[in-house]
Chain A
Amino acid sequence: MGTAAAPAPERAKQRRSSHLWKKALLHFSLCFVMGFFTGFAPSSSSSWRSNSGQPHHQLAASHLTVNQVSSSLVPASPESDAVSNGAVVDVDDVGEGDDERRRRMLIVVTTTRSGGGERRRRRGELLRLAHTLRLVRPPVVWVVVEPAADAAATAEVLRGTGVMYRHLAFRPEENFTSAAAEAHAQRNAALAHVEKHRLSGVLHFADAAAVYDTSFFDQIRQIEAFGTWPVATMSAGEKKVVVEGPLCSESKVTGWFSRDFNDGTTRAVKYNTETDSNPAGAAGTRAHTIDVSGFAFNSSILWDPERWGRPTSLPDTSQDSIKFVQEVVLEDRTKLKGIPSDCSQIMVWQYTMPMVAAQTSTPKTHNRR
């Protein structure tokens, strides 16, 4: 700092100015030091938590929840943080569309049933679904739940497809008396995974035997909370094609219908918008459930029910997640989105195998009655 003070002041004005600029110098130095120490503060990338002996998982959990909310609502750019931390980030994503940033993650869950016939058919069916999912634009996470005994053989088929999947080996605690019970338990196992990992995205249970149009997956990405659409169910060896789904008007679900194209019957129920806008009105219908093939939902309902205006400690969430979700979807009709907007295009086909009393093999897809 010697040079600065070099010219010897003679006049008062000069003295004053020299004084002024010593002051300035002081300011600058102070600022520099301040900046210097700001830089030395713990980098914003780390948040140090005290070791208070509390379970870390819980602390971390609440921390993450907050972040999750902001991430799914505002796709904020973390680059600024990263750069200031001295991390190397190629900022070369010039061509990155807004679309890509906003594209929601899809969590596709596929359950498989045990039983000889099912196991034989499984590889082919999973392969077909894998090929479809391979065409869906990322990010997609495919969760395949399978009885542990069969997992290795199926994995061989799946890994050849190049699809990013997570294989959950399912070890049931009980022997299932019905295929429905097994599927139910497997779905809960998948939801437990989503809950534990706090995966955030649109979750749909895709039946391996169902065939999807690829545009379907783009459509369900639009779902904010819950979504539903018409599904065509065909019966092999019968004269029966049934389409079931929501009645929609501008994506708003106004009711439900079921139409059999062969005997020409249509059953439909329409909500009375005046008297039935109160979700509580539907609370009496707890006994009803919505079929899993016909809806998708935002997975955060599983691990962040508060965000959805629900009490946190519902016993349902941990014990029987899928039942919980099914109920929530029906109760909270205002958050239900019809897909596509008028719910007229069918993008999902599934079939039922001819089944008489189902004593030889497990029922194929859906026993709806």
Chain B
Amino acid sequence: AAASAAAARSSGGASGGGGADGVSSDAGAGGRAPATSTFWFLLHALCCLVSLFLGFRFSRLLFFLLFSTTALYSSTSSSSSSAVLRATTTTTTTTTTTTTTTNTFTLSFAAGSNPPPSNPSNHSAALDDAAGHTQSHVVVGRHGIRIRPWPHPDPVEVMRAHRIMERVQEEQRRWYGVKEPRHVLVVTPTYSRAFQALHLTGLLHSLRNVPYPLTWIVVEAGGTTNATASLLARSGLTIVHIPFPDRMPHDWADRHATENRMRLHALRVIRERKMDGVIVFADDSNVHSMELFDEVQKVQWMGAVSVGILAHTGTADQPRLSEEDKQNMPLPVQGPACNSSGQLAGWHTFNSLPFTGKTATVVGEAAPVLPRGLEWAGFVLNSRMLWKEADGKPDWVKDLDAVGENGEEIENPLILLNDASSVEPLGNCGKKILLWWLRVEARADSKFPQGWVIEPPLEVVIPAKRTPWPETTTELSSELVDTKPDQEDRRLSRTN
């Protein structure tokens, strides 16, 4: 390698010299002319700079050729360049492999600035052998730990990496995902209340991540409100916002029934508009895994998924549950049960026994809310089964008009079927929980700021030296009132 470097260097010198020749002969011509000395000087300087630059670039080129034997990411062409190198190396090697060969390569700069390998005998052996033996450019011994001086991480590269990952994920979906995705129709009953913003925002974010074409059918009890509309509008999703005339009742059982009627209302809209796709029933308080939306693509007519029931058990006393039981109690699941051959065999229902007498009856009561029967959220439908006429619509599907006509409660979509055994269990036969069901609400009469903007700006209060945070309770504790001499620093202001 040293020989090739020398050769390259000499050829570099020659070409560099040639370049300088050209420059100087022209400059010489200039010198004869009675030109201003400043121009001459400038040209001289320019040429000096040019040759400096040329020299620099040339050495970099040489450097590049010499030391970049490992490809950055490519293979063929760089291996060809390294093959050239190898060739030059092998010309100076003998074919015998001896055991005394050491792998030392002294870079002109590395040797100068890097401490030599820690084993001097080794090093000298290498030098002795250098003339006739195989060499690798790997140094045996201690190396410097390279730390780059420029700022990092580089934001541009970070963004580039994110784009790469985006493409990779996109490609993964293309390879493994559904080839011709069906439209997803999400049906959500909602109403304006304290927890609406929290729940609906969460659902909205989930839906925005769904990688399939999606229409969100939101049915709002008590008519559409601006607050809901503006929240939905910000999502950028395709939205059908339908008003529902009735107000949401305060009783949990009634609310449940009303929500069912709202869902049925949405189904009628789908039927009227002949919307085509897979219907997913998403309550605003549900949390969905993205896998659910992959699974629903498989549905032929009606599918069922397992729902994890998060009945909060935060009530004061639960005599039936010891702490240990609670630790070991698996997440209650509602959904399809399969037999060993993967056919629908029955349903896992929520065991409400431990909660007897402890559940909430009114919205916002401080007690767990349990699902009533099978939740709609656990079912997905092909919208075509709702249409008046559709190709291949099975005869075990009832006509939507025949359902719920007399105002009876529709507990779950199974009522749409004459034969519930045709339901397709999804999510590895119901073994996989694809969504979580949790009902938390504030008391129905809870007030909350409109649009979650606090206005008017809070009135100015007496200046304080201290930050009251976080002892800000609704009432000043008596201890504070009694013991703090500077209590005038703060003021409790009642606005109504």
Chain A residues close to B by CB (< 8 Å): 1, 3-4, 13, 17-18, 20-21, 24-25, 27-29, 31-51, 56, 60, 63-64, 67-68, 70-71, 74-78, 81-82, 84, 86-88, 93, 96, 100-103, 105, 115-117, 120-121, 123-125, 127-128, 131-132, 134-135, 138-139, 157, 160-162, 164, 211-214, 230, 232, 234-244, 247, 255-273, 275-276, 281-282, 284-285, 288-291, 330, 342-347, 349, 351, 353-357, 359-361, 364, 368-369
Contacts and interface: CB of A to CB of B under 8 A. Distances in A.
Nearest to A27: B48
A230 B438 contact: no
Contact of A116 (B72, B328, B489): B328
A138 B489 contact: no
Contacts, number: 439
Given A3-B21, A262-B446, A86 B312 contact: no
B338 interface: no
B198 interface: yes
Given A47-B148, A121-B438, A291-B470, A357 B316 contact: yes
Contacts of B156: 77, 93, 96, 100-101
Contact of B460 (A125, A234, A270, A330): A270
Contacts of B401: none
B209 A211 contact: no
Interface string B472-493: 1111100000000000011111
B3 interface: no
Contacts of B63: 39-40, 43, 86
Interface in B33-73: 44, 47-49, 51-60, 62-64, 68, 72
Given A100-B155, A117-B314, A256 B109 contact: no
Given A70-B151, A230-B454, A282-B467, 17 more contacts: A1-B21, A25-B20, A35-B51, A35-B58, A36-B59, A42-B109, A48-B113, A128-B202, A131-B209, A236-B440, A241-B447, A269-B466, A270-B461, A275-B463, A288-B471, A347-B452, A360-B313
Contacts of B466: 269, 282, 284-285, 288
Given A237-B366, A239-B443, A368-B470, A264 B496 contact: yes
Given A241-B448, A266-B493, A124 B438 contact: yes
Given A40-B108, A67-B152, A243-B454, A261 B447 contact: yes
A256 B466 CA distance: 10
8 contacts: A28-B48, A29-B17, A44-B150, A124-B308, A238-B364, A259-B458, A267-B491, A360-B323
A48 B115 CA distance: 10
B495 A266 contact: yes
A237 to B, nearest CB: 3
Interface of B: 12, 16-17, 19-21, 23-25, 27-28, 31-32, 44, 47-49, 51-60, 62-64, 68, 72, 108-110, 113-115, 142, 144-156, 158-160, 162, 165, 169, 194-195, 197-199, 201-202, 205-206, 208-209, 287-291, 308, 310, 312-318, 321, 323, 326-329, 331, 360, 364-367, 436, 438, 440-443, 445-449, 452-455, 457-476, 489-496
Contacts of A68: 151
List the 9 closest A-B pairs by CB distance, nearest first: A35-B55, A39-B59, A272-B463, A237-B366, A124-B436, A258-B472, A71-B151, A354-B366, A356-B316
Contact of B24 (A25, A241, A272): A25
A369 B53 CA distance: 70
Contacts of A243: 449, 454
B144 A46 contact: yes
Contact of B149 (A67, A77, A86, A343): A67
Q: Of residues B17, B108, B327, which shows the largest number of chain A Cβ atoms within 10 Å of its Cβ? A: B17
B378 to A, nearest CB: 15
Given A42-B109, A241-B194, A256-B469, A351 B440 contact: yes
Contacts of A242: 474
A125 B287 contact: yes
A272 B465 contact: yes
Interface centre among A13, A360, A368 (most CB of B within 10 A): A360
Given A81-B150, A261-B448, A237 B360 contact: yes
A47 B462 CA distance: 58
A144 to B, nearest CB: 16
Contacts of B27: 21, 24
Nearest to B308: A124
Nearest to A88: B72
B467 A21 contact: no
A63 B147 contact: yes
Contacts of B462: 270
B445 A239 contact: yes
B64 A86 contact: yes
Contacts of B436: 123-124, 127
A236 B194 CA distance: 10
Nearest to A257: B458
A264 B475 CA distance: 11
Given A20-B28, A116-B328, A240 B442 contact: yes
A100 B442 contact: no
A32 B51 contact: yes
B116 to A, nearest CB: 11
Nearest to B454: A344
A28 B24 contact: yes
Contact of B20 (A28, A42, A45, A247): A28
A37 B109 CA distance: 10
A292 B459 CA distance: 26
Indicate the member of A40, A261, A344 with the most B CB atoms within 10 Å: A40
B240 to A, nearest CB: 22
A31 B195 CA distance: 75
Residue in B64, B447, B469, B495 whose Cβ sees the most chain A Cβ within 10 Å? B469
A50 B28 CA distance: 49
A217 to B, nearest CB: 11
A39 B58 contact: yes
B169 A49 contact: no
A214 B209 CA distance: 13
A285 B232 CA distance: 43
A236 B366 contact: yes
B152 A71 contact: yes
A309 B58 CA distance: 48
Contacts of B471: 288, 368-369
A88 B327 CA distance: 56
A346 B455 CA distance: 11
B159 A35 contact: no
Contacts of B367: 237, 354
A269 B464 contact: yes
Given A21-B24, A76-B151, A138-B162, A240 B55 contact: no
A68 B199 CA distance: 40
Contacts of B150: 44, 67, 76, 78, 81-82
A49 B472 contact: no
Given A21-B27, A35-B51, A128-B206, A45 B16 contact: no
